[in-house]
């Protein structure tokens, strides 16, 4: 029997071998140029030794590159390999230091000299001159931060080998004069994902069609890291381990150039060279000058080889979170964008095929040419660098009389996170130990206050310090953009809605973090101590009746979530309170001993959770709240429900928003949840979840699947949607009463009356003089009647069509929070929100707005004004723009619309975010609202379930 099966098996194999035809051509034969020239010492293994194909004809996996580095570290004295981080999937990230053996022995002393040159407060001109004479050139060469842009890392493999094995005198001379740090694979998890796709979609014949799966790969694609983060937007936000490790080492070394090698569209050519406008004004102009020098040498070499290329074009440099954050620290950033050839090559419109090997060769040659340019100009570049460093700390620079202040705040979790980001960039931060009076303080909403007192315990960041340009770039409320650029941008917008802005136009850290801050036109220096986090106190008494964590701190949500996961009954106090002398803000988390009669060692569980989160806990001996304040048996101590969370995922969803939602649950909360393939919605068992998250996207949800979701909501589910998924919900029938602005113009007056009710209900200054009149007053004025401007449906439609072309592409606008809504626990009265071309939400019916666009600023002289469908009541102005490019037309369009809505439907609810509240893991202000929704939603917004 066994023998019989074996014979069949062999026979089958044979048939298969015969049916697979030999390919008609091989991509490795398409390109005959030599990358590695063969003039190498024998003791170092050729890259082919580590690959199962000829070098540069296919994509090397991260593991293959790592094994080459490990072997080479033993074979050569021209390199030193440092592991600077581990990815989420536990792959190592390496910085390969390559230089002469002599220089490699002295790395510490070289690094020390660079540090001295970087600080003009401890170094004078004469000393600087000596340092510049002694210092070798330093280059940081980094590749393939986007994992599916593969050719860079393959070039890096060849570059390392070439530098450590070449017998060429030029190379030996180069190594005498330079320390070259090669960062070969900046995103190993993304590269591994794409390499797996290549393996899975490989057939026998080479495929040159850039639309086929072997070229595109599968959702979520190889561009991003494990949590689908674009690592090339993370260089100042520093949320991912790859970036954290890398930035720490780059900042230690302060290289003269940083090359960041990418790929772009397959049908493109090659781009390098300095950015076009808008360029962030904090970048030293010398760097743009040097950028042109490098681009010219590189272009000449491409010309000589008959390779096509261009410079500038779409490459702009306003956003400081690219790899070019280094520019703010005095390093020249150089971008490579090679057209993407995957591994078989790509057929172009003219009929030619560009091979993968050629794309690797472009990256290789670019690298070698840039190193050569640096070798020739290193001393002059150091001199310019030194001038820049002197300017940053001089008493008459543009940075000299300016300080940024993050106002003292009880949200320790958030402010500590901000402090860590700043410190990682060598930014010096301080704390004031007594109040400081200042003049002309500029607030985040653009209002200047003549006399202002900075409260004790604020975070003070003088701009006058060695890293002044970076301080300014991430803390100034607005990045300056030239008039010509603004005019061009507006023309493009009006013409066809296109934009010359490549990324967000606002990135102010304090606004992203939702922390109130001011800018002061003076160099604050006196009575400051170095910033240290406020100490947390763990006051956990075994016989307390209540243990509580203040709701102001973002980590309180994680505290509640982790206890709920361990089946502890947890309550939330939905109103400011005072218990046993402890002030607790609304949203404070309370664990009541009596709620958990059979829970053993509850205080120990609480202690473990609080210790893990490093958050203060208070023990309360009595549940009595003085006077009107909540008491523990009253309705303000609301029972939470253990969240059972699902994130819908895969095709149609934005991988970024899925990834950051997933990361946020893992990173900010650390609790269990499931990521579901959205196709499961129609047939899966949704009863397992009480909270379902729809990240932004255009998921292909059938009507049947939508009905299933709505049935689940009506039975008590909490459905949370972001941005484009919100758009899907508001444009679907039967999914609640929140509407898109452009479908409401025939009812605009009714929406305005609802808005006026919302605003006037919060007004303290209500005229009650006629409350006891018996006679009907015929002279009453109503809010909407004090302005004689109203717009017809047609006028509103025309305005909207025009305004819709001018929507912001990532700017920060202000939103006023409903302080009685549980979704806004922990939030300030005004929350800065990142805004783009988002759905404009109109609440009606049962739905309410927890966050509405625009800060109402008192102005007693102001009369009622009409903007589009809504009004600004008399006595107020409305501020919308906070930072970045928001055209006034866009401000009008989004003013008074909702950013965050909640609607009870059946026994459950739908919560909608207009934007992406977790943007890049750094929109901490809106992230808190999202965490509230996810963790508190099923307890606070739905009918409680009683198990009979």
Which residues are within 8 A (CB) of 309 and not within 5 positions of it... i.e. 6 or more apart? 269, 270, 271, 272, 298, 299, 302
- Strands 257-264 and 276-279: what pairing? unpaired
CB of 330 to Zn ion, least distance (A): 24
Distance separating alpha carbons of residues 231 and 246, to the nearest angstrom = 11
The distance of closest approach from Cβ of residue 59 to Zn ion in the complex, given in angstroms and rounded to an integer, is 15
**Nearest approach, Cβ of 672 to Zn ion (angstroms)?**
34
Decide whether 316 or 476 has the Cβ nearer to Zn ion.
Answer: 316
- 107-118 vs 125-134: helix crossing angle, rounded to 10: 150
Least distance between Zn ion and beta carbon 55 (Å): 23
Nearer to Zn ion by C-beta: 230 or 384?
A: 230
CA distance 181 to 326: 15
Does residue 358 contact residue 306 with C-beta atoms inside 8 Å? no
Q: Which is nearer to Zn ion, 146 or 799 (CB)?
A: 146
Q: In terms of CB distance, is 146 or 706 closer to Zn ion?
A: 146
DSSP characters for 353-410?
Answer: EE-HHHHHHHHHHHHHHHHHHHHHHHHHHHHHHHHHHHHHHSTTSTTTT-EEEEPP-S
Q: Give whichever of 40 and 221 is closer to Zn ion, judged by the CB atom.
A: 221
158, 322, 849 from 152: Cα distances, Å: 10, 17, 48
As a whole number of angstroms, the distance between CA 804 and CA 554 comes to 35
Nearer to Zn ion, 85 or 186 (CB): 186
User: Residue 146 or residue 315: which is nearer to Zn ion going by CB?
Assistant: 146
Closest to Zn ion by CB, 149 or 316? 149
- Supply the minimum distance, in Å, between the C-beta of residue 145 and Zn ion: 6
The CB-of-283 to Zn ion minimum distance in angstroms stands at: 21
Q: Identify which of residues 149 and 189 has a Cβ nearer to Zn ion in the complex.
A: 149
CB of 501 to Zn ion, least distance (A): 18
Residue nearest to Zn ion as judged by C-beta position = 262
Q: To the nearest whole angstrom, how small is the minimum distance from the Cβ of residue 940 to Zn ion?
A: 42
Phi, psi of 351 (to 5 degrees): 100, -15
Residue number, 149 or 384, with CB nearest to Zn ion? 149
Residue with tokens 């014979």: 7
Please state the φ and ψ torsions of residue 39, each to the nearest 5 degrees. -95, 65
CA trace torsion 443, 446, 451, 455 (10° rounding) = -10
**Could you give the CA distance from residue 10 to residue 172 in angstroms, rounded to a whole number?**
56
Asked, as a colleague might, if the bond just before 278 is cis with ω within 30 of 0, I would say yes
CA end-to-end span of the chain: 61
Nearer to Zn ion, 45 or 268 (CB): 268
Which residues fall within 8 angstroms of residue 5, CB to CB, at 6 or more apart?
Answer: none
CB of 344 to Zn ion, least distance (A): 20
Whether residue 617 contacts residue 610, with contact meaning beta carbons closer than 8 Å, is answered with yes
CB of 262 to Zn ion, least distance (A): 3
Asked if 358 and 341 touch (Cβ cutoff 8 Å), the reply is yes
* Residue 159 near residue 367, CB atoms below 8 Å: yes
Task: Name the minimum Å distance from CB 148 to Zn ion.
Answer: 9
Task: Kindly state the smallest distance separating residue 363's Cβ from Zn ion, in Å.
Answer: 12
Q: Which residues contact 200 (CB under 8 A, 6 or more apart)?
A: none
Name the residues that contact Zn ion, by CB under 5 A: 146, 149, 262
Q: Which residues pair with 866 in a beta bridge?
A: 871
| Nearest to Zn ion of 262, 357 (CB atom) | 262
């Amino acid at each position: 029997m066994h023998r019989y099966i074996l014979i069949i098996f062999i026979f089958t194999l044979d048939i298969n071998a015969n049916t697979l035809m030999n390919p008609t051509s091989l991509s490795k034969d398409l390109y005959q140029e030599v990358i590695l020239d063969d003039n190498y010492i024998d003791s170092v293994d050729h890259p082919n030794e580590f690959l199962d194909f000829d070098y540069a004809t296919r994509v090397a996996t991260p593991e293959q590159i790592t094994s080459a580095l490990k072997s080479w570290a033993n074979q050569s004295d021209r390199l030193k390999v440092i592991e600077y981080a581990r990815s989420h999937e536990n792959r190592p990230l390496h910085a390969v230091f390559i230089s002469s053996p002599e220089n490699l022995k002295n790395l510490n002393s070289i690094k020390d000299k660079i540090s001295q040159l970087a600080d003009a407060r401890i170094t004078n001109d004469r000393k600087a001159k000596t340092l510049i004479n002694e210092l070798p050139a330093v280059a940081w060469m980094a590749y393939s931060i986007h994992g599916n842009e593969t050719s860079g890392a393959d070039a890096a493999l060849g570059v390392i080998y070439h530098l450590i094995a070449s017998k060429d005198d030029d190379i030996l001379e180069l190594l005498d004069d330079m320390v070259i740090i090669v960062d070969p694979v900046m995103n190993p998890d993304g590269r591994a994902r794409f390499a797996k796709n290549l393996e899975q979609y490989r057939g026998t014949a080479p495929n040159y069609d850039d639309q086929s799966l072997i070229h595109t790969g599968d959702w979520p694609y190889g561009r991003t890291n494990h949590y689908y983060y674009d690592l090339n937007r993370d260089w100042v936000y520093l949320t991912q381990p790859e970036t954290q490790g890398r930035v720490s080492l780059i900042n230690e070394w302060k290289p003269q150039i940083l090359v960041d090698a990418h790929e772009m569209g397959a049908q493109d050519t090659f781009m390098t060279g300095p950015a076009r406008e808008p360029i962030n004004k904090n970048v030293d102009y010398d760097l743009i000058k040097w950028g042109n020098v490098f681009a010219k040498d590189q272009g000449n070499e491409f010309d000589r080889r008959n390779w096509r290329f261009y410079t500038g074009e779409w490459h702009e440099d306003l956003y400081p979170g690219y790899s070019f954050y280094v520019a703010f620290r005095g390093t020249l950033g150089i971008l490579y964008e090679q057209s993407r050839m995957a591994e078989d090559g790509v057929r172009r419109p003219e009929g030619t095929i560009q091979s993968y090997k050629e794309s690797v060769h472009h990256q290789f040659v670019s690298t070698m040419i840039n190193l050569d340019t640096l070798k020739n100009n290193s001393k002059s570049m150091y001199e310019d660098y030194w001038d820049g460093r002197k300017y940053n700390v001089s008493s008459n620079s543009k940075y000299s009389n300016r300080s940024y202040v993050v106002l003292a705040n009880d949200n320790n979790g958030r402010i500590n996170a901000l402090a860590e980001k700043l410190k990682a960039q060598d930014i010096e931060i301080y704390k004031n130990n007594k109040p400081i009076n200042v003049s002309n303080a500029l607030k985040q909403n653009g209002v200047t206050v003549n006399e202002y007192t900075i409260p004790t315990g604020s975070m003070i960041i003088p701009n006058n310090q060695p890293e002044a340009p970076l301080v300014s770039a991430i803390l100034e409320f607005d990045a300056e953009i030239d008039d010509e650029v603004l005019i061009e941008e507006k023309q493009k917008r009006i013409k066809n809605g296109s934009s010359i802005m490549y990324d967000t136009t606002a990135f102010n850290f304090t606004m992203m973090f939702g922390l109130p801050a001011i800018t002061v036109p003076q160099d604050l220096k006196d009575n400051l101590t170095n910033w240290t986090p406020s100490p947390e106190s763990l006051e956990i008494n075994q016989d307390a009746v209540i243990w509580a964590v203040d709701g102001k701190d973002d980590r309180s949500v994680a505290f509640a979530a982790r206890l709920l996961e361990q089946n502890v009954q947890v309550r939330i106090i939905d109103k400011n309170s005072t218990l046993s002398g402890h002030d607790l803000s609304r949203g404070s988390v309370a664990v009541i001993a009596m709620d958990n009669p059979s829970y053993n060692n509850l205080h120990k569980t609480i202690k473990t959770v609080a210790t893990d989160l490093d958050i203060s806990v208070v023990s309360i001996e009595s549940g009595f709240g003085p006077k009107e304040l909540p008491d523990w048996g009253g309705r303000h101590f609301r029972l939470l429900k253990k969240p059972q969370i699902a994130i819908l995922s895969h095709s149609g969803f934005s991988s970024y928003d899925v990834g950051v939602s997933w990361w946020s649950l893992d990173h900010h909360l650390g609790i269990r949840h499931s990521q579901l393939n959205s196709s499961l919605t129609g047939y899966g068992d949704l009863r397992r979840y009480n909270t379902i998250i729809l990240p932004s996207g255009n998921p292909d949800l059938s009507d049947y699947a939508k009905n299933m979701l709505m049935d689940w909501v009506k039975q008590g589910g909490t459905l949370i949607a972001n941005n484009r998924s919100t758009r899907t919900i508001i444009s679907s029938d039967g999914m609640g009463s929140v509407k898109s602005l452009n479908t409401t113009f025939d009812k605009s007056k009714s929406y305005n009356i609802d808005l006026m009710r919302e605003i006037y209900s919060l007004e303290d200054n209500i005229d009650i003089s006629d409350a006891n009149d018996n006679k009907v007053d015929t002279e009453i004025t109503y809010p909407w009647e004090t302005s004689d401007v109203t717009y017809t449906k047609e006028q509103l439609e025309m305005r909207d069509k025009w305004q819709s072309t001018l929507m912001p592409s990532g700017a920060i606008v202000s939103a006023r929070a409903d302080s009685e809504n549980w979704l806004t626990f922990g939030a300030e009265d005004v929350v800065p929100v990142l805004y783009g071309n988002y759905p404009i939400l109109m609440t009606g019916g049962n739905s309410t707005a927890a966050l509405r666009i625009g800060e109402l600023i008192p102005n007693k002289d102001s009369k009622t004004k009409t903007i589009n469908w809504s009004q600004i009541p008399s006595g107020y102005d409305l501020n919308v723009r906070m930072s970045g490019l928001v055209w006034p037309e866009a401000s009008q369009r989004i003013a008074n619309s909702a950013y965050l809505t909640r609607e009870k439907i059946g026994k459950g609810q739908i919560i909608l975010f207009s934007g992406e509240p977790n943007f890049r893991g750094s929109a901490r202000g809106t992230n808190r609202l999202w965490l509230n929704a996810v963790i508190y939603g099923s307890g606070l917004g739905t009918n409680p379930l009683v198990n009979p």
